[in-house]
Amino acid sequence: MAKKEGKPAGKRKERKKAQAGKKGKPALAKATAATGKAKSKKAAPASKVREQPKSPLPPQHQEKPGIEARMTPPPEYQAPLYKGAEKLQDKAALITGGDSGIGRAVAVLYAREGADVAIVYLPVEQEDADETRRAVEAEGRRALLLPGDVCDPKYCREAVERTVKEFGKLDVLVNNAAFQQSQESLEEVSDEQWDQTFKTNIYGYFYMAKAALPHLPKGGAIVNCGSITGLEGSKQLLDYSATKGAIHAFTKSLARNLVERGIRVNCVSPGPVWTPLNVADKPAEKVAEHGAETPMKRPAQPEEIAPAFVFFASEADSSYITGEVLTLLGGETTGG
């Protein structure tokens, strides 16, 4: 019996396979899209912009020192858009005021970059410190809690010694603890308030730096937290602004002093930030407008300030930078 004329059997099989493959592609595309392995051409790309709360914020006030867990909305510190790159891998850092606000956000990002973190805070802030410890440990690093007062030089020495004992070293010191109390006139600033502000904001920085210095290696870093008030002044924050100006000068002077030892000293100087420091200082109605005067019409969130502290701590990022004061002002410009 004669065979019918046509394409060879092998080619017919190949054509059927190709057709079957074409029919199967939509189902495969759906399956991979569902698991995130394929992107639809029509689907909009995921937004890389993180919307932050704008002023006015809910009116609120707390007694000092203020507890972050009781703020509404809570400050943003987890920085989900920030990806670690092992910039501080196996380093040891000590952060004063590390229980909340900027200090907590810095602790989380340092841990994400591979560092173990010691956290200095007032005993009354234990609730916030416990949350910071959980956040650091969630990043896979160790957290050491060190309740105490940076106004006490003996405590500062003990905090450094305990950090070195626990982690075996100290690579980065972050001076961040602060006291702030607004007053309308110089006459309202008591001698006790003046002492409290200076002892916390600049004496504490001096005590901690002096205690840490014998342990900081070449390549180590000190990162201080200043404020735009230290550059521009503030009519209601006479003592606070004076200490922040002192921090800026201390940063530049200490940087020159330590440059030959290979230890860098820099300062992050923010504008308004959503932290317990301000909620525990201003009346509720003024807290609601905190940051509204900036071009961005809102205060910074701690997670937006913390990457600057990573930058100054990281040799990979700032090995040629010391004695700098970096302002983060939500679009405000200075000097013009």
List the catalytic residues.
240
Radius of gyration of the chain (CA): 27
User: Cis bond leading into 56, ω under 30°?
Assistant: yes
Q: 327 forms bridges with which residues in the sheet?
A: 269
Reference 55, options 253, 232, 301, 258; nearest CA is 301
Helix then strand then coil, in percent of the chain rounded to 5, is 45, 10, 45
β-strands 116-121, 221-225: how paired?
A: unpaired
Q: E-assigned strands of the chain?
A: 92-96, 116-121, 143-147, 172-175, 221-225, 264-270, 325-328
Going by the DSSP 8-state scheme, the letter that residue 47 receives in this structure is P
CA distance 14 to 150: 78
Are 102 and 223 in contact, with CB atoms under 8 Å apart? no
- How many C-beta atoms surround the C-beta of residue 336 within 10 A? 3
Are 146 and 162 in contact, with CB atoms under 8 Å apart? yes
Are 112 and 303 in contact, with CB atoms under 8 Å apart? no
Q: Measure the CA angle with vertex 105, ends 101 and 106; round to 5°.
A: 115
CA distance 238 to 225: 18
DSSP string, 162-190: HHHHHHS---EEEE--------SSGGGS-
Which 3 state secondary structure label does DSSP give 125? helix
